[in-house]
Structure 1
Amino acid sequence: MNRPPIEAFSSREDLYDAAASVLVSALTTAVAERGQAGFAATGGTTPAPVYDRLATMTAPWDKVVVTLSDDRFVPPSHAGSNEGLVRRHLLVGEAAKAEFAPLYFEGASQEESALKAEEGVAAASPFGAVLLGVGADGHFASLFPGSPVLAQGLDPETHRLVLAAPAGHPAPDIPRLSLTFAALTRADLIMLLVTGEAKRALLEGPIDPALPVASILKQDRAMVRILWAE
């Protein structure tokens, strides 16, 4: 498996600076080439400082459609909502001009939300940039090992862009909505943003091809960059 090299930074602040710079460049290039750019953002604590930086940077935000790689099936007001995180940290300042395509829809069931989200995700793709984290178990987005929707989620030929991922053991703890591998790889750039030695070891060592992240690393649809700091 030909994997991209890990780009290591001496501090997390340097990591966040570099990630924001790479992402805004990719989005700006995509707008110049296609007239618009989609950005699939991820959740968690690590990307929030990247979003804070992006929100202050000059880019053609009015031609950018932001969506999510995945989200918990909770309203944006919930502390665990990725939509809430992105609205607080990214869709402010300069970046408030961007359009947003949600995965969660109030009053809809989990499966209904997944189906309703497909229109917005399709409008955002192909993505100028996708930002993903990687779990210690090798998951990305909400495609977890052992999930009953994992096979469909990783199927490169699936027609689905968004799936309803049920809660499971040991993860995820609550139902989620997730973009599929097929949707996420319709992109110019996929950035894996990772911190900590455990995840570096996972990505540097021999990777079990059964782990979900192996699909991202071995595909040739989108360029992958791995940015890391302790």
Structure 2
Amino acid sequence: MNLISYPDRAVQAEQLAQLVASELQGAIQIKAKATAAFAGGTTPVLFFEALAKQALDWSKIAFTLTDERQVDPSNERSNARLLQTHLLGGLQPAASFQSLYQAAQTAADLDNLASQLQENFLPLDSVVLGMGNDGHFASLFPQASNLELGLDPNNSTILLEIRAPDLPEARISLSLAALLQAKHLHLLITSADKHQLLEQAQANLAASQPRQWPIEALLQQAGDKLTIHYAP
């Protein structure tokens, strides 16, 4: 695990955008295409806007999300809408996007979507995750249904439906196992509170304490593949 600290969020966004652009360009040079998955929420907005300004052949890049609320893409809570507004809007039709929204939400639909991701996206070239104040990443929340399956690095399930007591709607999330396949993993965090939680999670791991937050599973399994980008 590597940690990069930035003086502010604008610098963090710009430098992370340059790094991810370099990773995507490297993938294009090797295999003529690149894939990326990004978190939703407000934290990565500046990063999205900075990435949209990078000089890339967007026609060779396919994007998806690390997780999605099961709400219509027009809903203001939709991660797809956020990505469309701050990144994809100026890049399409060149860049392609795979939604995780499933209107029917049946097991067969989820299996079909997982198959599409397996065939067209995995292993991902670049992943940018966020972390909540409760230590969740993607939609792998504490007390969530399927959490243990989602955090098992050895399972073959790449996509899960997630429900939790405090979530107003179901979510679809990539599993830790799917995320660990990525060539490059980034964790984007802001605020002193999240930095403190991250330090405590690392201390828990060092002391072999029982897992307190989902993020500990990512820190433990990702190793040097993971780069943490922190700005106050």
> 5 Å matches for 1:24-173?
24-94=21-91, 96-106=93-103, 108-109=104-105, 111-122=107-118, 123-166=120-163, 168-169=164-165, 171-173=166-168
CA contact (8 A) 1:41 1:132 kept: yes
Gap change, CA 1:113 and 1:140, over 3 Å in 2: farther
Please give the secondary structure, in 2, of the residue aligned with 1:115.
helix
Report the equivalent of 2:169.
174
Among all aligned residue pairs of Structure 1 and Structure 2, give the percentage whose two residues are the same amino acid. Answer: 33
Report the equivalent of 2:15.
18
Report the equivalent of 2:221.
219
Please give the secondary structure, in 1, of the residue aligned with 2:63.
strand
Whole-angstrom CA distance in 2 between matches of 1:188 and 1:23: 11
- 2:223 matched to 1:228? no
Report the equivalent of 1:203.
198
Shift of 1:134: 0.8
Shift of 1:14: 0.6
Partner amino acid, structure 1, of 2:117: V
Shift of 1:117: 2.0
- 1:138-185 deviations in whole A, cap 9, x for unaligned? 11100111112001111222222111112x23x333211101111111
Whole-angstrom CA distance in 1 between matches of 2:62 and 2:224: 19
Gap change, CA 1:222 and 1:69, over 3 Å in 2: farther
Unpaired segments of 5 or more residues in structure 1? Answer: none
Shift of 1:57: 1.1
Shift of 1:50: 1.0
Whole-angstrom CA distance in 1 between matches of 2:143 and 2:167: 10
* TM-score, with structure 1 as normaliser: 0.90
Unpaired segments of 5 or more residues in structure 2? Answer: none
Please, what is the CA RMSD of the aligned residues?
A: 1.8
- 1:24-77 deviations in whole A, cap 9, x for unaligned? 111111222222211011101111111111112111321111011000000110
CA contact (8 A) 1:110 1:164 kept: no
Gap change, CA 1:105 and 1:220, over 3 Å in 2: closer
Whole-angstrom CA distance in 2 between matches of 1:110 and 1:85: 25
Shift of 1:110: 5.4
CA contact (8 A) 2:71 2:78 kept: yes
